[in-house]
Amino acid sequence: MLKELVVNAAPHETRVALIENGTIVEVFIEREDETSIAGNIYKGRVQRVLPGMQAAFVDIGFDQAAFIYVDDVLDTACREMYQKFEQDNDSDDTDNGNMQTGSMAGSHTSWKASFNQECSIEDLLTEGQEILVQVAKSSIGTKGPRITTHISLAGRYMVLMPTVDHIGISKRIENETERARLKDLVLSIRENKFGYILRTQANGIDENTIAKEIEFLNKNWESILTKSTTAGAPSLVYKDLTVTFRAVRDLLANEADKLIIDSKEEYENVQNFLERLMPDVKLSVELYQGRESVFDAYNIEGDVARALKKKVWLKSGGYIVIEQTEALVAIDVNTGRYVGKHNFDETILKTNLEAVKEIAYQVRLRNIGGIIIIDFIDMKKEQHKDKVMAHMNEAMKKDKSQTNILPLTELGLVQMTRKRIRRNLTRTLCEPCFYCNGDGHLLSGKSICHKIYRDLVSEAGDIMGNRFTVKVHPDIAQLLHGREKHLISSLEKQFSKPIAIYPEPHYHIEEYHIFESLVK
């Protein structure tokens, strides 16, 4: 399978698309004024401690305060107990394949949740206290950034976790002999009690390469500590790699075979980055010099635009509808124009199977995270239900983000979760409609006409003039002069007063104003 990374590097925006056999499967967007801060390390100041929520707000220099839970706080007094807890609950750590951040803090959440039942937030943090934190999740919607004191620094082959003594191996490395070899190598090389997670790329690497990476990550951590001692709070102590370099580090050579970039400056920077950090790997990096945008040349712009639509058509004629809310994402499957060829059950099964493939693709492309509810078309046969669920689990294996899929319910619903670290594509590229204020609906023209009718009736008794004037949007004026003319006629007859309708092109379609006037 041909996999390519296409990078559109503009002065104030960088877009990276992962292409598989000519089809875009993932897109990453980073803008100068709203760059993702996930992975960045800050020296922050505690603003408020919330015992009732076992959490705290921390000022890291943004308008929105960052949020930290008790299980993401660790102080010296609890460290020994925590390390013992780790050893008693040792488990494999998944590889961080999401590319958007070097942070691996989330991989220990389940352990820490149980452990920190012994520690309360007021014992660990006080208002005004300065702490070193890393952003685990950028702000999403109205929620501020999620932070942790469990710092992690990602390299090409491993992730350094200086606050814990734990050696983890990516689950994607399945050979037990290789897993044991890597763990023994790290234990024999490391000179401290720092934790390390070996990533998928570490499979088969030699001792010298591991030693160099450990040395590089340790020096990086030492420089961060040195800077943090003199930095004020709040302030940025360490900035994670840009989206382009994260793509090179995490996707190139592991997920992609070739990188195409349209900026000569960034092209040279990528070459230098490869020579400095990945000198042993020979990768294809191409400078795109075409006249049209590189995203247009690879037909990416249209795919991104379609990924913002709620309705997605299936090849058979069926379709899915993706509704994103604050709490969850609902996906509805419909047969649409597809009527099948044999029988009703087979028609439903084929539509659901086709929807499974498209849902897995859209979830990954749009970077949909959190709770996802999928409403499949109701199936009567158990073997059909089992087949759909088997295909669903198989389709989601391609997704590098952590997912959890629950069995099909009696109502034909599939509940799943997908790890959410950065904003989804819709939140990145769109904002609430100024016309409907994000409601997604407007009053119908007929409803607006009847509302005007009711207001005229309500105000008629207080109006001293002998004439009504109503200013409305042109579409509503057309209705009141046409299909809904009977409303105005009945009022004119009832009040014995003329009613003039005037179109105002600049009005919102739901906006109108009623005036009284005296006509001699």
What's the pLDDT band for 7 if we cut at 50, 70, 90? very high
Give the C-alpha distances (Å, rounded to integers) separating 162 from 119, 190, 349, 489, 513: 21, 12, 50, 79, 65
How far is 461 from 482, CA to CA, in rounded Å? 27
Helix (H, G, I), strand (E, B) or coil at 489: helix
pLDDT in tens, 89-126: 444 444 544 454 444 444 444 444 444 456 788 889 99
How far is 98 from 315, CA to CA, in rounded Å? 29
pLDDT in tens, 21-56: 888 999 988 876 555 788 899 999 999 999 998 999
0.85 cut: is pTM over it?
no
Helix (H, G, I), strand (E, B) or coil at 285: strand
Whether residue 449 contacts residue 484, with contact meaning beta carbons closer than 8 Å, is answered with yes
Q: Which DSSP state fits 321? A: E
The 3-9 sheet, strands edge to edge: 23-31, 13-20, 3-9, 258-261, 284-287
Buried b (16+ CB within 10 A) or exposed e, 72-89: bbbeeebeeebbebbeee
**Selection from 150, 73, 35 nearest residue 104 by Cα:** 150
What's the pLDDT band for 248 if we cut at 50, 70, 90? confident
187 CB-near residues (< 8 Å, 6+ apart): 167
Give the C-alpha distances (Å, rounded to integers) separating 208 from 141, 215, 247, 280: 45, 11, 25, 12
Listed range (14-18, 118-122, 347-351) with the worst mean pLDDT = 118-122
| Amino acid 96: pLDDT | 45
Res 272 pLDDT > 50: yes
Ordered structural domains, the chain, with CATH:
3-35+242-300 (3.30.420.60), 40-80+121-238 (2.40.50.140), 310-429 (no CATH), 445-517 (3.40.1260.20)
Burial of residue 235, with CB atoms counted within 10 A of its CB: 0-12 exposed, 13-18 middle, 19 or more buried: middle
Mean pLDDT of 243-268: 84
441 CB-near residues (< 8 Å, 6+ apart): none
